[in-house]
């Protein structure tokens, strides 16, 4: 009876071969210059602050939204979900647009 164990199969096995050519680029070339690091850090921190501030604004505005639109508590969760889904979709779209540029 033939064996069906995949470990004893006679199929061809391909082995990964290491690259033979050594990298000729400078390993420090990909790093940002030392003078730009504080600027990049400030940019990232300010972007995260704006995201947190925007989320806080939506949460603070929820009672006003509930009163103006006469929404119940269950329907109010859809406001938060709609905001998060819209924000996430636009974030992905803008990230892809940045990759293309």
Its sign, for the CA torsion 85, 86, 87, 91, is positive
Cα(22)–Cα(5) distance, rounded to whole angstroms? 40
Note whether residue 61 is domain-resident: yes
pLDDT digits (tens, 9 = 90+) for 5-29: 656 555 556 666 555 555 556 666 6
- Please give the DSSP secondary-structure letter assigned to residue 34: G
Cα(62)–Cα(38) distance, rounded to whole angstroms? 36
Note whether residue 15 is domain-resident: no
- pLDDT exceeds 80 at position 76: yes
Note whether residue 22 is domain-resident: no
Note whether residue 27 is domain-resident: no
Helix axis angle for 37-69 and 73-100, nearest 10°, is: 150
- Please give the DSSP secondary-structure letter assigned to residue 35: G
What value does the mean pLDDT take over residues 73-80? Answer: 88
The domain tally of the chain equals 1
**Domain residue limits at 72:** 35-101
Compare 97 and 4 and report the one with higher pLDDT. 97
Note whether residue 90 is domain-resident: yes
């Amino acid at each position: 009876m033939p064996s069906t164990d995949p470990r004893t199969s006679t199929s061809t096995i391909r082995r990964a071969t290491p690259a033979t050519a050594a990298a000729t680029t400078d390993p420090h070339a990909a790093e940002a210059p030392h003078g730009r690091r504080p600027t990049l850090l400030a940019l990232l921190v300010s972007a995260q602050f704006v995201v947190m501030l925007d989320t806080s604004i939506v949460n603070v505005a929820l009672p006003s939204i509930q009163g103006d639109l006469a929404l119940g508590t269950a329907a109010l969760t859809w406001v938060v979900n709609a905001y998060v889904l819209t924000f996430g979709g636009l974030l992905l779209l803008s990230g892809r647009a940045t990759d293309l540029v």
